[in-house]
Amino acid sequence: MKTALVTGAAGFVGRHMEAELLRRGWSVDVCDIDDYAGGIDAHDIFRACRDVYDLVVHAAATAPHRAAIDGLPMNMALDLALDAAMFEWAVRTGQRRVLYLSSSAAYPIDYQRDFATARPLSEAMVRFDRYNIGTPDASYGWAKLTGERMAAAAVLAGLPVHVVRPFSGYGEDQGVDWPFGAFLDRARRREDPFLIWGTGEQVRDWIHIDDVVTGALAVVDADVREPINLCTGVGTSMRDLAAMMCAEAGYRAAFDLREDAPAGVACRVGDPTRMLDVYRPGVSLAEGVRRAMRALVGQ
């Protein structure tokens, strides 16, 4: 039986990754960061564990949502320490391979600041052999960019590492700190006016959590060793997503736009070309919204 360790198992991606690996017949151990109620602290694993896993999925991070990214910049220090401890442990103990969950936040914001200059974000836009690699999105982007640099160092030390860059992952059980989860909760309550942070015109590349997980594992199965986007290549604005949610809930709402709230960059859409060689997303945003609303009705 194949064995895996999933870090960040209390989080959105981590718990779905654990469920998928279990569904595939893997034996899975889990851990999270120190506020994981009743669970094992990842730092304790990295200090003391000598088990060797077929796959280590490193999804743990500190509150990777917009309010924390903009409001808690010192989370960067916590995330860097976590990634450094994981890679040092993985090399020292001879882990068989690591799947590192990076982020689209690692991309230079110069390509995302406004609609006039925005373009699909391709993996080649992040290069460590340049004098200026471009400024990523806030401290969280710097943490993920540095995590990718640690991954490259671990590869030089002999560790097989796969790096994926998920764009805006979403799903029916996502928390309300993320836009999709927050919008779903507002639609459930038939909120009117419907609150949207920013202008509502911010565009994101929404990818269902099923496609994030199965796409990431497809990268591992294909033994791809270069970073790969997990995205759809399709951009949808916050305003349009809110309208889809309201329509699925059976009502129309006015929008309450809070332009002083954290909103992120203007446009972030991925280039799926490299990913399509190994995986093709199967859940459209419309279907994802339908699934989420049906799950609420079933509660």
Q: Is residue 268 part of a domain?
A: no
Residue labelled with tokens 């990818």: 207
- How many domains would you assign to the chain? 1
Query: Could you list the residue range(s) of the whole structural domain that residue 17 is in?
Result: 3-172+205-233
Least confident of 6-15, 159-168, 207-216, 288-297: 288-297
Distances from the Cα of 193 to the Cαs of 32, 243, 254, 259, 274, in angstroms? 37, 12, 5, 15, 40
Which pLDDT score, from 0 to 100, does residue 36 have? Answer: 60
CA–CA gap between residue 216 and residue 278 (Å, rounded): 10
Q: Is residue 245 part of a domain?
A: no
Q: Which of 34-43, 154-163, 256-265 has the highest mean pLDDT?
A: 154-163
Least confident of 91-95, 115-119, 126-130, 162-166: 126-130
Neighbouring CB atoms inside 10 A of 119's CB total 11
Angle (deg, nearest 10), helices 179-188 and 285-297: 50
- Cα angle: 209, vertex 61, 2; to 5 degrees: 65
Is the confidence at residue 116, as pLDDT, over 80? yes
Which pLDDT score, from 0 to 100, does residue 76 have? Answer: 86
Q: Which of 32, 10, 39 is nearest to 78 (CA)?
A: 32
Q: Is residue 137 part of a domain?
A: yes
Q: What is the mean pLDDT of residues 215-232?
A: 98
Q: Is residue 200 part of a domain?
A: no
What CATH number does residue 17 fall under?
Answer: 3.40.50.720
| Its pTM surpasses 0.85 | yes
Who contacts 148 (Cβ-Cβ below 8 Å, separation ≥6)? 100, 102, 106, 126, 163, 227
Q: Is residue 141 part of a domain?
A: yes
Q: Is residue 95 part of a domain?
A: yes
Residues 19-42 as b/e (b if ≥16 CB within 10 A, e otherwise) read ebbeeeebebbbbbbeebeeeeeb
Who contacts 191 (Cβ-Cβ below 8 Å, separation ≥6)? 253
Q: Is residue 286 part of a domain?
A: no
Q: Is residue 38 part of a domain?
A: yes
**In this predicted model, what pLDDT tens digit does every residue of 26-80 receive, in sequence order?**
999 999 986 565 678 899 999 999 999 999 999 998 866 555 556 667 788 889 9
